[in-house]
Amino acid sequence: MLSTENRFRAGIIILTLSAYALVWNCGFVNFDDPAYVPDNVNVKTGLSAENIRWAWTSTLLANWSPLTWMSLMLDATIYPPGPRGFHITNLLLHVANALLLFQVLRCMTARTALSGCVALIFAVHPVHVESVAWIAERKDVLSMFFGLIAMLAYTHYVRPGSISRGRWWYAFALFAFVCSLLSKQMLVTLPCLLLLLDVWPLQRIGSAGRSKINPGLDAADTPHDPPVSTSVPPPVRPGRLLLEKAPFLLLSVIFSVIALQVQKAGGAMEGLKHLTLDVRMANAAVAYVEYVRTVFWPSGLAIFYPHPEHGLSGLTLAISGGVLGVVTLLAVCLWKRAPFVATGWFWFLGTLVPVIGLVQVGIQQRADRYLYMPGIGIYIMAVWTLGPLLARVCPLHRVRVTTVGAVLLILTMATFWQVRRWQNSIYLWSHTVRVTERNLLAHTQLASAFNDAGLGERAAVLFREGLEEWPNDNILNANYGLYFVKRQEYEMALPYVRKSVELEPDNGTAEALLGFVLWKTGTLDEAEVILHKAIEHEPRGVRAYYYLGRIRLEQGLTKPATEFFERALKADPTYGPARRFLTQIQQGLPVD
């Protein structure tokens, strides 16, 4: 018969795989995924010395995450072409994270049942679907994986025992922390989180026994729990606690600076120009409350939440500020009596700081993926509070198990349904348009998804509606131009593509498209100028080289055409059109 601990592990695996059963058939979505895999030659060609060098130097999409790139390259090496392998790895990492979370909490608290409930909620909560079902969010699940390993190693380090063995665990915790930051710089707040855990549940400050600061928890566990070590680490002076966090803090500072520089250089912080500090602070307060609401009532989940066009109302801001203030005051007041409330609440508040919007990165108001680590704090608060309460109200073990099982079943079904919306871009963006208001990005991406699927008429209606509301959006103009390009109506495409370049002059992709349209409309001189600009702004942009090669072929200049096709294949060895023309030229075949 399985022990309680192993039953929880089996339950985590079974429920997670059931909740995410449909993720195996999800495709790539048309937002960030193309840059991460389908259009990324470095990832598609798998692990190699050249690609690994690229992973460590790339700042694509204003991110520096070399381990994430290398993990995607490994997938491309071992799996057949297509999205399935990448989804499998994301799901396996999520299962591993749930199991690691269970182990971390169990080692820290000596409470198997409560730790297992937190891990199960994390595993099947629908708010985490975005991090798991979106291939581009490999960085979320990978960063969390190493972050939890760092926390587990730290837990072993603080246990009473051999000093030399403790030093090895400390070094391993630092190493895992570095790996987490190399995957995504989300857990830069880990040093502060470790200090928080030193208070509860590790109890490294003060000499109170675990039974005194965990009142009533025994009743929530099953009577057949396997023995768990309850040895409490000896109290440590605050100065030493701060000193041992210094290396973690130094790493956090270094990686924070790197992240800010990369995001600034990549244009991801343009929102700072449009959102003043007071607006960002107000939005942070509202976002915190929205995140709490999402944890307890996960409805209306979407891939993108826009900032309200007319700002936040005073009433919304007052309510949000009041809720934050009351819960924070309550957590402080309960610090000695129920320390898990304070730990859970400040875990939630603190780990959200890098992405709460005080330093605006991107154009979103908030994002479900940002709850992947912070949400655990709310789960701890809820489970450690409601567990003993449920034990008192329902003394029968079967009733408690049935109640918890019903909650987990509801969450599993909600996650299953949410995964369904990630099957393809049309499903995803249709849902996002339905549950959000005046969402320009969702509107544009949905129109593009229809266009990519060959449903041109439906795409055209959405493009026209979008341009009536947002006439000066460069992406919307470029995509409407692409709609006409697919129909070979180049004269119709030209004004929209040209306007998209005027709105964003340094966008190499848009310039390559404009060069193509100018070539097709017979304006060769301007087309060449624009295509050379596209190469300056995006040296690895394969299409600009390819179009220049085609222009040279039309002019009867075979040698220059060959050079451009070779440069295109150097940028992307998998680009078929350039290889086909190059082969025809080299073999002396007629060029069609």
Structure tokens at 379: 């789960």
Token pair of 35, please? 């840059």
Q: Can you give the residue ranges of every domain in the chain? A: 4-204+256-420, 425-586
Residue 227 DSSP one-character state: P
215 pLDDT band (50/70/90 cuts)? very low
User: Are 139 and 68 within 8 A, CB to CB?
Assistant: yes
pLDDT band at 232 (very low <50, low <70, confident <90, very high): low
Q: What is the rounded distance in angstroms from the CA atom of residue 501 to the CA atom of residue 481?
A: 11
Residue 209: band (very low, low, confident or very high) from pLDDT cuts 50, 70, 90:
very low
Sorted by sequence, the CB contacts under 8 Å of residue 164 that are 6+ apart come out as: none
Residues 6+ apart with CB under 8 A from 367: 130, 304, 305, 355
What gap in Å lies between CA 459 and CA 450, rounded to an integer? Answer: 5
Angle at 288 between CA 286 and CA 291, to 5 degrees: 110
Q: How confident is the model at residue 273 (pLDDT cuts 50, 70, 90)?
A: low
Cα distance between residue 508 and residue 184, in whole Å: 26
Close Cβ partners of 467 (under 8 Å, ≥ 6 residues apart): 473, 476, 477, 480
Checking if the pLDDT of 139 tops 80, the result is yes
d(CA 317, CA 431): 27
Q: What is the pLDDT of residue 47?
A: 96
Structure tokens at 552: 């040279």
Residue 354 Cα to chain centre, angstroms: 13
Q: Which residues contact 583 (CB under 8 A, 6 or more apart)?
A: 589
Provide the CA 78 distance to its chain's centre, in angstroms: 23
Show the tokens assigned to 366.
């908030």
Among 15-19, 218-222, 475-479, the range with the most confident prediction by mean pLDDT is 15-19
Q: What is the 3-state secondary structure (H, E, C) of 89-145?
A: HHHHHHHHHHHHHHHHHHHHHCCHHHHHHHHHHHHHCHHHHHHHHCHHHHHHHHHHH
Residues 367-389 pLDDT 10s: 999 999 999 999 999 999 999 88
pLDDT of 311 reads 80
pLDDT at 268: 63
Structure tokens at 566: 């070779």
Q: What is the mean pLDDT of residues 507-514?
A: 93
User: Per residue in 303-358, pLDDT tens?
Assistant: 999 988 778 888 999 999 999 999 999 999 999 999 999 999 999 999 999 999 88
Average pLDDT over every residue of 393-415:
91
User: pLDDT per residue over 553-588, tens digit each?
Assistant: 888 888 999 999 999 988 888 788 888 888 888 877
Asked if pLDDT for residue 221 goes beyond 50, the answer is: no
User: pLDDT band at residue 216, thresholds of 50, 70 and 90?
Assistant: very low
Q: What is the pLDDT of residue 432?
A: 97
Handedness of CA 202, 205, 209, 215 (dihedral sign): negative
For residue 26, pLDDT over 90 is answered with: yes
In this structure, how many other beta carbons lie within 10 angstroms of the beta carbon of residue 29? 24
Tell whether pTM > 0.85.
yes
The answer to whether residues 252 and 188 touch, using CB atoms and an 8 Å cutoff, is yes
Residue 261 has pLDDT above 70, yes or no: yes
Residue among 348, 411, 355 nearest 128 (CA): 411
pLDDT: which is higher, 382 or 165:
382
Lookup result for tokens 């520096």: 64
Position 56 scores a pLDDT of 96
Most confident of 157-161, 204-208, 462-466: 462-466
Distance of CA 109 to the CA centre of its chain: 29
Alpha-carbon distances of 313 from 272, 276, 308, 407, 438, rounded to whole Å: 21, 16, 10, 34, 17
Reported CATH class of domain 425-586: mainly alpha
Percentage of the chain lying above the pLDDT 70 cut: 93
pLDDT at 282 over 80: yes
Q: Average model confidence (pLDDT) for the chain?
A: 90
Listed range (204-208, 211-215, 499-503) with the worst mean pLDDT: 211-215
Angle at 304 between CA 299 and CA 305, to 5 degrees: 70
Q: How confident is the model at residue 222 (pLDDT cuts 50, 70, 90)?
A: very low
Amino acid present at 332:
V
Contact predicate 1/397, CB 8 Å? no
For residue 448, what are the contacts with CB-CB under 8 A and spacing of at least 6? 30, 425, 459, 479, 482
Query: Which of 480, 457, 454 minimizes the C-alpha distance to 467?
Result: 480
Mean pLDDT of the 169-178 span: 97
Residues in the chain: 592
Please give the structure tokens belonging to residue 540: 């690895």
pLDDT of residue 142: 98
3-class SS string, 500-513: HHHHCCCCHHHHHH
Average pLDDT value for residue range 546-558: 91
